[in-house]
Chains A and B, each alone.
Chain A
Amino acid sequence: MTTLTASDWLGLWLHFSVLSLLSVGGGISVVPDMHRYLVAEQGWLTHQQFTSSVALAQVAPGPNVLFVALMGWNVGANAGSAYLGALGATLCLLGLVLPSSLLTLLATRWAQRNRTHPGVRAFKAGLTPLVVALLGATAWLLLAPSLASDGALAAGLLVLVATGVLWRTSIHLLWVLAAGAVIGAMGWV
Chain B
Amino acid sequence: MGQTMMDQGLAAAVRPACSPPRSLRELFWAFSMLSLQGFGGVMAVTQRELIDRRQWMPREEFLEDWAVAQVLPGPNVANLGVIIGDRYFGTRGALMCLLGLFLFPLFIVGLLAVAFTSFQHLPVVQGALKGMGLVVVALILTTGVKLATALRTHVGGVLFCWLAGIATFVAIAVLRLPLVWVLLVFGSLACGWTYLRIVRAPVPERAGP
Contact = CB atoms under 8 A, between A and B. Distances in A.
B64 interface: yes
Contacts of A140: 169, 173
B108 A128 contact: no
Interface residues of A, number: 92
Contact of A116 (B94, B180, B206): B206
A182 B131 contact: yes
**Chain A residues touching B, majority SS:** helix
Interface residues of B, number: 105
Contact of A61 (B39, B64, B87, B144): B39
A135 B143 contact: yes
Contacts of A99: 74
Interface in A1-53: 20-27, 29, 52
A87 interface: no
A162 interface: yes
Contact of B113 (A23, A73, A104, A105): A73
Interface of B: 35-42, 44-45, 48, 52-53, 63-64, 66-79, 82-83, 86-87, 91, 94, 98, 101-102, 104-106, 108-110, 112-113, 116-117, 123-125, 127-148, 150-151, 154-156, 160-162, 164-169, 172-173, 179-180, 182-183, 186-187, 190-195, 198-199, 206-207
Q: Which 7 A-B pairs have the closest CB atoms?
A: A184-B131, A100-B74, A62-B105, A126-B191, A162-B138, A122-B195, A180-B135
